[in-house]
Structure 1
Amino acid sequence: MIERIPDAAIEALQYYVYRLVDPRDAATFYVGKGVGQRALQHARAALETAEIVDRLDRIREILRAGLEVEIVIHRHGLDEATAFAVEAAVIDAFPKLTNLVAGHHSQFSAAPLNELLDRYAAPPANITVAAILIKIEREWRPGLSADQLYERTRRYWRCRPMARKPPPTHAMAIARGIIREVYRVDRWVSYSDWPSDRDLSRSAADNEIWSGGARVGFEGTICPHLSTLRGNSVRHLVTGSAQNPITYVNC
């Protein structure tokens, strides 16, 4: 196993995108972006920690079989912004990865043409109620059931909706700039840790380490009289940091 990337090679590689390959079936199981020793850190973490993550579990299986993970440098000599874009494109090309998230700028990732047309040609939403818009980018995909969409929208957020004046009466699931569902908020709930009834199909909920502090969620139901908002765009309403999942409208 390669213990260290020499300094001269680090200088030449600059930012790079790499793949971890299982030698047992030649399958790429992880794609990452890094600089310096980053590509070697996964095998080290698998050996030195007991963290239970699909990526590390697979590496441990490979090592127990007396084999080594193959590290492929997919592209190198990149600046950081280009590395982010290449990483996202390579993640799209390998559908059965152990990556927990889709990669940087996942809004530009592979999608059916009809989904892209819906996304970019959707009419702007005219929201007249007090609403909290909740972006679920990492947790959304076409084909989610109604229950899955509700669970992935409704809780584990760092926000204070009840402090708004007025507080939001409705919550909207947002993905790729489009309203996916509208819910009437019946009540707000605080969480200090993952609850026992959490949705285990959520990658973030099942794998993210709780970092302290209360998080907020809501309980409610689908709002039929605002169903015409589904499929409308909120790009004109979402402002501020692209990483902030919460936007308030009319409150």
Structure 2
Amino acid sequence: MEELTIRARNPKREFAPGEYAQIGRKYVYALQDPTDQRIFYVGQGTGNRVFEHLKRAEILLQSRKRLSPKFEAIHAVWKRDQDVSLVILAGGLSDGEADIVESATLDALNLSANGELTNAISAPHSSMVRVEDLAASAYPYVNPDRPYRKVLVFPVPKKRHNPDIYERCRRKWKVAKKHRALGTDATAPYAVAIDRGVSVGAYRVTSWKRLEDKKWEFEGEPYEALRKLNWRAIIQPAMGYWQRGNYLVVEFDGAGHFRIVRGSKARSWKACDEQAAQAEMAKQMCLQAEIA
């Protein structure tokens, strides 16, 4: 296979004692392609963590398994007979500070012209919010008094010049078969269109139509019970994923709790009442203030 012809580079595989002392116990780092300066991976760790990706990449030169995007990127640099650039973005951090610096860096790079990173998990401690999303505070938090097994939460596409919210949000999504199942009245899927944190459209999904590139659009009936509500608390746990234009699938128990079924690794139930949402926002603001 082609991988067998690639020669491992980056001969330096650990810090000298004096070097690590300059960094501090915990740090946030990046792997960078030296050709175009694109950062393709961001992580955090202690000790020689930044070098472990290179050691694993060298072992995988002999593997016939399909590589993750991160190791494909490392091998692509080595194939050009170059070294991957290793960058310490911030050092001497506490665990909480490292979480926030890592997530903020992931969010910023994924939104920028840098291009999407190869990290398998989106920013786990993201507190990113666009200024225009703060307008959602004028609306009541979504907190249904009945259970919803499946609510597909779609961001309203910004680049589609169509004033009809329904037409803008229902088209061209990659929706798995399990999420397209229509079910009965009790298990029927619903779709909401979110703009600046507010549900500007809400629909009961009645059917799906397959489009090109294995994408789908839904047909739906207006459903007022989920419209004109603040969804910031629902989106917050998956903010990094959401901000890249992805949709979420959410379940409500009808007793003040929700959980994200698609869009976050965490599947635990969370409170969706206004007090809990405000407490979470205050927590994020305090964490950011500690770093400033």
Structure 1 length normalisation: TM-score? 0.61
> Deviations along 1:126-185, whole A, 9 cap, x unmatched?
64654235587xx96854863567545x6668xxxx8xxx94334345979754764435
Structure 1 position 93 matched with structure 2 position 103: no
Q: Secondary structure at the match of 2:223?
A: helix
5 Å-filtered alignment, 1:182-193, equals: 182-184=202-204
> Does the Cα contact within 8 Å between 1:88 and 1:103 map onto a contact in 2?
yes
- Report Cα offsets for 1:175-223 as digits up to 9, x if no partner: 7975476443569xxxxxxxxx865xxxxxxxxxxxxxxxxxxx96433
Cα gap change, 1:98/1:174 in structure 2, threshold over 3 Å: closer, same or farther? same
1:234 deviation in Å? 4.5
In the alignment of these two chains, the number of paired residues is 211
How far apart are 1:86 and its partner, in Å? 0.5
Question: Counterpart of 1:222?
Answer: 220
Cα separation, 2, equivalents of 1:40 and 1:86: 20
Structure 2 counterpart of 1:33, which letter? Answer: Q
Unpaired segments of 5 or more residues in structure 2? 1-9, 160-167, 208-212, 239-247, 256-292
Task: Choose the corresponding residue for 2:89, options 70, 74, 79.
Answer: 74
Please name the residue that 2:35 is paired with.
24
Cα–Cα, structure 1 residues 27 and 234, in superposed 2: closer, same or farther, change >3 Å?
Answer: closer
Root-mean-square deviation over aligned CA pairs:
4.4
Runs of 4 or more above 6 Å deviation: 174-177
In 1, Cα distance between equivalents of 2:91 and 2:33: 21
Relative to structure 1, the CA distance from residue 225 to residue 140 in structure 2 (aligned partners, 3 Å threshold; closer, same or farther) is: closer
Which of 11, 15, 19 is equivalent to 1:5?
15
Distance (whole Å) between structure 1 residues aligned to residue 106 and residue 122 of structure 2: 7
Between 1:140-149 and 1:32-41, the stretch displaced more is 140-149
**Which structure shows the bigger proportion of residues in helix conformation?**
2
1:131 alignment partner, one of 126, 148, 154: 148
- Equivalences for 1:25-174 in 2 at 5 Å? 25-49=36-60, 50-94=65-109, 95=112, 96-100=115-119, 101-106=121-126, 108-109=127-128, 111=130, 113-114=131-132, 116-125=133-142, 127=144, 130-132=147-149, 134=151, 143=158, 146-147=169-170, 151-152=174-175, 167-172=186-191
